[in-house]
Chains A and B, each alone.
Chain A
Amino acid sequence: MVYVNYFFSALEAAEMYGDDYVGPSVRAQERQQGDIAALQGPLLALENVTLSFGGVTALAAVDLTIAPGEIHAVIGPNGAGKSSLINVISGLYRPSSGRVWVDGVSYAGVPAHRAARLGLSRTFQTPALFKGLSVADNIVTGLAYRNRSNFLSQALGLPLSRREQAGVRQRAEEVMALLRLERYANHLTGALPYGLQKRTELARALAPNPKVLLLDEPMAGMTATEKLEMADYVRAARTRYGTTIVLVEHDVGLVMDMSDRIAVLDYGRKIADGTPDEVRNNQAVIDAYLGVPHDNEQGAGI
């Protein structure tokens, strides 16, 4: 039985090495250069998506298209539906109507358990880390969906399993280096400070080199310095891996700085979608969310 395993593992290794373990910068170039033209539909889009629970309409006929390789932010007041948007894209919520396009295929409801295979990755508002695992192990688990070896092969230390482990560890080290997490590699994530937890979650989301990265308030609860650092890491991910990024965030200043385009939601409707400049000067956005920039600059009257 071991020999049969060997045979299949040889075939599988060839397939595995051929596809997913291409160098990251090559991947980035491929994305930017027209690999996208081969897609039948958009990389990521919401088509007339409505989401209601009970009496509440979280999203109302939202149309949104994300261009490959861009950083596209989603902002809006509390309760505007930003997290719901991310949850719909990641398949945690199923829209009441409308379609979600992922990697050229449209879905009535994105299958969350297959999200990784579709090239989707995300972080959560409260870090959804596995507290009982170390930083490195969390990141490695982000790649678990690719494993072909079964528990027996792993327990016995068969070649396929060992090769998989080596590949996965190498990738994890790469990502930890990019996000400067190496010195925490063996620390239990449950014991880490909040900022590091968020960074670890980002690392885990980046590990499978996703096509689309969804970030749900990645800077929430951070100090100003931590926020700037996080923004750098997010940009680094896009530069290095060519990842398309959808970002929900409250810190408008930061968002204006780092995004290519910004969509604004209010009461579940999209009221604006354009470059930071366009959004900054959009009257509807100012009325609903930003407020008039000149008055109250010194905080008078608050």
Chain B
Amino acid sequence: MTTNALRPKTLPSWLLLVLILALAYAVIPLFGTGYLIEAIMLPFLALSLAGVGLNLLTGYAGQVSLGSAAFMAVGAFAAFNFNLRVDGLPLLVSLVAAGLTAAAVGIVFGLPSLRLRGFYLAVSTLAAQFFVQWALTKFSWFSNNNPSGVIDAPTIRLAGIDMTSSLGRYYFALIVVSLLTLFAWRVATSQTGRNFIAVRDNETAANFIGVPVLKTKLLAFGLSSFIIGIAGALWAFAYLRTVEPAGFNLDRSFQILFIVIIGGLATIRGAFLGAALIVVFPVVLSRVGSLVFGSMFDSGTLDMTQRIVLGALIIAFLILEPDGLAALSHRLRLWRQAPAPAS
């Protein structure tokens, strides 16, 4: 939320937020089925957080990254290793350490942004994607020398309470996501966030008026990777319950980018809207598909149709609503209220 212009007159945003939090913390756990929580909410939470992180980098700071899945992978593996190898380390501390590791890697792969822009930068983030995936697969130390290269996530213990149950993992993820989203929002609305936008919108002018461009870019990579790293840890620990490099491939990077584009660049809520669509859409599609086409609609067909519709959605959003679902939802609220005074 880059400006507080046009505060809606009907439903104040704080009330909306309270309702959403109530929904998340109370309604869903009480009334939601196991399926809803395991298959929808957990991936939604992890992907939203990754989207929040990527948005800071690509939406606010304008640095295109096609390698976000690599940083998720770093976070997941780092969390696993910290938890495994450092005795008695609380899980939350492992998460933070994992985030910091991802941030360090992010800064290293973000160094090219000091010289490169646009496509060239995008290509260099792909270097991160391929290299990290290779390194995590190649060096078995990362997966604790497990012969299959696939590792199980540890039990989740928060302040002595075992949270490995479905509901426990849900609350764990929810708490982490809430805290980090709050943090991201605070950064986005601070001068740091304004510096991000300044560098994105006009780097020459920003440099001249004294915005520390180099520091700002690296900070964007660092902060974003920190959040994305923890999102990766959540994806592995809370949702999949395994940690493997294959799940953090290029398709995943594109998925996060799509979430951010569809949801709305440079907004915090955009990541959630986009992730909701990305997570819910295949489920809806498969139900509708089997309803309409019957048994002809197998999983292969589902996959392909999904790709087509997703790609078409991206193109449609870029053409019609480049500010994503966040802008659409904003317009919807404005349309419902009395016309604002002339601005």
Does B192 interact with chain A (Cβ within 8 Å)?
yes
8 pairs, CB–CB < 8 Å, chain A vs chain B:
A116-B210, A124-B205, A132-B2, A133-B194, A149-B191, A151-B192, A187-B343, A188-B3
B residues in contact with A155, CB < 8 Å: 183, 186-187, 190, 192
Question: In the complex the two chains form, is B194's CB within 8 Å of A145's CB?
Answer: no
Question: In the complex the two chains form, is B209's CB within 8 Å of A144's CB?
Answer: yes
Question: In the complex the two chains form, is B2's CB within 8 Å of A133's CB?
Answer: yes
Q: A113-B213, A151-B187 are in contact. List 16 more A-B contacts (CB 8 A).
A: A92-B204, A121-B209, A129-B205, A130-B202, A132-B197, A133-B198, A134-B2, A141-B206, A141-B211, A144-B211, A151-B192, A154-B186, A154-B190, A154-B192, A165-B191, A186-B5
Which B residues have a C-beta under 8 Å from some C-beta of A? 2-5, 183, 186-187, 190-192, 194-195, 197-198, 200-202, 204-213, 219, 223, 266, 343
**Residue of A130, A131, A145, A188 touching B210 (CB-CB under 8 A):** A145
Question: In the complex the two chains form, is A133's CB within 8 Å of B3's CB?
Answer: yes
Q: How far is the CB of A229 from chain B (nearest CB, A)?
A: 20
Question: In the complex the two chains form, is A154's CB within 8 Å of B210's CB?
Answer: no
Does A204 interact with chain B (Cβ within 8 Å)?
yes
Does A76 interact with chain B (Cβ within 8 Å)?
no
Q: How far is the CB of B6 from chain A (nearest CB, A)?
A: 8
Does A258 interact with chain B (Cβ within 8 Å)?
no
Taking CB as reference atom, which chain B residue is nearest A123? B205
Q: How far is the CB of B323 from chain A (nearest CB, A)?
A: 10
Does A94 interact with chain B (Cβ within 8 Å)?
no
Question: In the complex the two chains form, is A133's CB within 8 Å of B208's CB?
Answer: no
B residues in contact with A70, CB < 8 Å: none
Known: A144-B209, A145-B210, A145-B211. A130 touches B191 (CB 8 A): no
**Residue of B5, B192, B194, B201 touching A140 (CB-CB under 8 A):** B194
**Residue of B5, B190, B266 touching A187 (CB-CB under 8 A):** B5
B residues in contact with A204, CB < 8 Å: 209
Known: A113-B213, A144-B211, A155-B183. A130 touches B206 (CB 8 A): yes
Taking CB as reference atom, which chain B residue is nearest A116? B210
Taking CB as reference atom, which chain B residue is nearest A145? B210
Taking CB as reference atom, which chain A residue is nearest B213? A113
A187 to B342, CA, bound (A): 12
Taking CB as reference atom, which chain B residue is nearest A128? B205
Number of interface residues of A (CB under 8 A): 43
B residues in contact with A161, CB < 8 Å: 190
Contact flags (1/0) for A76-88 with B, using CB distance below 8 Å? 0000000000000
A residues in contact with B183, CB < 8 Å: 155
A residues in contact with B197, CB < 8 Å: 130, 132-133
B residues in contact with A92, CB < 8 Å: 204, 208
A residues in contact with B5, CB < 8 Å: 134, 186-188
Which residues of A, 90-133, contact B by the 8 Å Cβ criterion? 90-92, 112-117, 121-122, 124, 128-133
A205 to B197, CA, bound (A): 18
Taking CB as reference atom, which chain B residue is nearest A188? B3
Question: In the complex the two chains form, is B192's CB within 8 Å of A142's CB?
Answer: no
**Residue of B190, B200, B212 touching A132 (CB-CB under 8 A):** B200
Q: How far is the CB of A24 from chain B (nearest CB, A)?
A: 19
A168 to B27, CA, bound (A): 43
A residues in contact with B186, CB < 8 Å: 154-157
B residues in contact with A165, CB < 8 Å: 191
Question: In the complex the two chains form, is A154's CB within 8 Å of B191's CB?
Answer: yes
Question: In the complex the two chains form, is B195's CB within 8 Å of A141's CB?
Answer: yes
Question: In the complex the two chains form, is A117's CB within 8 Å of B202's CB?
Answer: no
Taking CB as reference atom, which chain B residue is nearest A161? B190
Does A239 interact with chain B (Cβ within 8 Å)?
no
Taking CB as reference atom, which chain B residue is nearest A151? B192
Question: In the complex the two chains form, is A130's CB within 8 Å of B198's CB?
Answer: yes
A residues in contact with B3, CB < 8 Å: 133-134, 137, 186-188
A164 to B187, CA, bound (A): 15
A residues in contact with B213, CB < 8 Å: 113
Does A147 interact with chain B (Cβ within 8 Å)?
yes
B residues in contact with A137, CB < 8 Å: 2-3, 194
With most chain A CB atoms within 10 A of its CB, the pick from B4, B197, B219 is B197
Q: How far is the CB of B211 from chain A (nearest CB, A)?
A: 5
Taking CB as reference atom, which chain B residue is nearest A155? B186
A161 to B197, CA, bound (A): 19
A132 to B2, CA, bound (A): 7
Closest 6 CB pairs of A and B: A145-B210, A116-B210, A128-B205, A154-B190, A155-B186, A130-B201
Known: A132-B197, A154-B191, A187-B5. A145 touches B219 (CB 8 A): no
Q: How far is the CB of B190 from chain A (nearest CB, A)?
A: 4
Q: How far is the CB of B99 from chain A (nearest CB, A)?
A: 14
**Residue of A112, A134, A157, A187 touching B208 (CB-CB under 8 A):** A112
Known: A141-B191, A154-B187. A132 touches B208 (CB 8 A): no
A5 to B266, CA, bound (A): 30
A154 to B185, CA, bound (A): 11
A140 to B195, CA, bound (A): 10
